[in-house]
Structure 1
């Protein structure tokens, strides 16, 4: 297994694509469809004697363009089979328009968040500057679901659905001993003889950032609750290592998932603190939490604030009047608003 690092100045930093040369030459995630990054991916593959046309399978962790943008182009050159979760499939095969190119979805979302006109204009200008080309060519996809196995010819990937950042985000768990050219992070079996398991986690688990919820995919219902459940699932899986969609390998994924879950408890407390001064919209809460925002963060900031406000409203801590949220329970037990797992409870 080879990690190919690719440039990315817009989203969460360096992208990772993973080349697996088993019975089927496979790429886990691609990259954004812009000329410079396309050239980087071609060069990275060629260092291992692989061209786009040689790729037999593309396995996508989710639909975002910095992960799926080149899937259609790779497929067009060599007929690769493209796998993606059924919830994200419409955004990869072209049946559904992404948020950045969907004015109707933008208008409804920005109104719900209370975003002022000037901020809307800045964000739509950013979308126009980035352009629709970053999403690349549509691909014919093979939809997958939680628990399904993708057989790469000697390497089997188990699909683990982890929604939150997107509706269809998945990790892919595998036995590292079966992957040619890959040295397992943990070469020891567990006390009860368990086999080592590692996973490609896409943006469900990142080493330096907390993946955005609420703004990264506005289709997700109850985004914070969905992501909290996904984090608990990662803790309980207790993988030996996680290979994320950005930056370096995570050697203690359960611990990292527990840290992110605690981060969201802390952020929920901060949202409650903001509302103690009076009712506020998602945009106003975002400003209090994150300050002035630029480019894609103009979407992610109020989206994150909305995810927390929505979570608190559903729990009866807040009431919504139009676009503004008002505290009705100023001293909730925040811990009880989130699920816990063994490691998470121990760390706290």
Structure 2
């Protein structure tokens, strides 16, 4: 039986090769020792993880569980190594396992909704591969499925798994209701604007930004005091963060409407180039995902219409006053 310890959440900061910079994963030290997220698939990150575990008098073999918020490689990348070394199964939502294998298996399907010009799709696929590359995909046999409202008992903490799709389809958060802290992955960040990523399931594209807004509504009803994000330091929670996210996407959507008023109609690609003229090609996947998400919102509100050639135009019957304040806010 393990000795009684003072339960705590310990941030572990790991370097990544990605533009976002360092990732923060979390060590839950309680009667059970749990790692939440693993870091990117690099030797540098693995060495940094081992060093910071040693600082706590621990090593990978002392872990009782490994849980992951979502499948992006800065959060999931070391999972195969940890699973092989410890014999533990990796706690992950089933949709994230699906997403990981979709992105690392067959050539990634570039969404026709983007309206990419000839030749650009190949460039996009190369960029996307660089973003999502895993040295070793996580085998399904290494995974224990996480479900919404499942409770992880670490001794003192009773950590609830909350499935909040948006940034990715199977993104989960870890919430401790007594202590009122939340480990948010990339769903809620203090210094970065979360970006719902385009997602394809078979032949169907899922509108992820509207899903993200629904998840934000659920989040707004939770009693939270502290957020432990996947990037940056822990910060005190305020519903102001939700309002700021909604306002950000409202402004982007209005800017998109202004662009469509000028060019009459345009594809996601054409609108994105005008909305983000600087650095568009460097972050094309993220930019296109954001613009397509805003167009999904506008289309659902009946403000824009998509043609058969994947071009969007403003519905001439849309109320111009309503257009300026279309975004449903959280009460």
The match for 2:53 is 45
Aligned-residue offset at 1:85: 1.9
Matched residue count? 315
Aligned-residue offset at 1:80: 2.0
Among 214, 224, 227, the residue aligned to 1:239: 224
* Higher relative contact order structure (alpha carbons within 8 Å, sequence separation ≥ 6): 1
Among 255, 265, 275, the residue aligned to 1:279: 265
The match for 1:211 is 194
Aligned-residue offset at 1:76: 1.1
Aligned-residue offset at 1:337: 4.3
* 2:123 is aligned with 1:105: no
Matches within 5 A, 1:1-348: 1-91=9-99, 96-98=101-103, 102-106=106-110, 109=111, 111-127=112-128, 132-134=133-135, 136-138=137-139, 140-175=142-177, 195-215=178-198, 217-219=199-201, 221-277=206-262, 278-293=264-279, 297-321=283-307, 322-328=309-315, 329=318, 331=320, 333-334=322-323, 337-342=326-331
Would the aligned equivalents of 1:280 and 1:326 in 2 still touch at CA under 8 Å? yes
Alpha-carbon distance change, 295 to 84 in structure 1, aligned in 2, over 3 angstroms: farther
**Structure 1 CA distance, aligned partners of 2:261 and 2:280?**
27
- Which TM-score applies when normalising by structure 2? 0.86
Instruction: Show structure 1 runs of 5+ residues with no match.
Output: 176-194, 343-348
**Structure 1 CA distance, aligned partners of 2:106 and 2:273?**
25
Would the aligned equivalents of 2:226 and 2:236 in 1 still touch at CA under 8 Å? yes
Would the aligned equivalents of 1:87 and 1:167 in 2 still touch at CA under 8 Å? yes
Would the aligned equivalents of 1:123 and 1:296 in 2 still touch at CA under 8 Å? no
Per-residue CA distance 1:31-85 (angstroms, 9 max, x = gap) = 1112222222222222212222222211111111111111121111112232122
Aligned-residue offset at 1:134: 4.3
Would the aligned equivalents of 2:280 and 2:287 in 1 still touch at CA under 8 Å? no
Alpha-carbon distance change, 58 to 271 in structure 1, aligned in 2, over 3 angstroms: same
Aligned-residue offset at 1:207: 0.9
Q: CA RMSD in A?
A: 2.4
Per-residue CA distance 1:197-233 (angstroms, 9 max, x = gap) = 1100111101111111244x44572211111111222
SS at match of 2:236: coil
**Structure 1 CA distance, aligned partners of 2:129 and 2:300?**
35
**Structure 2 CA distance, aligned partners of 1:135 and 1:250?**
33
SS at match of 2:48: helix
SS at match of 2:224: coil
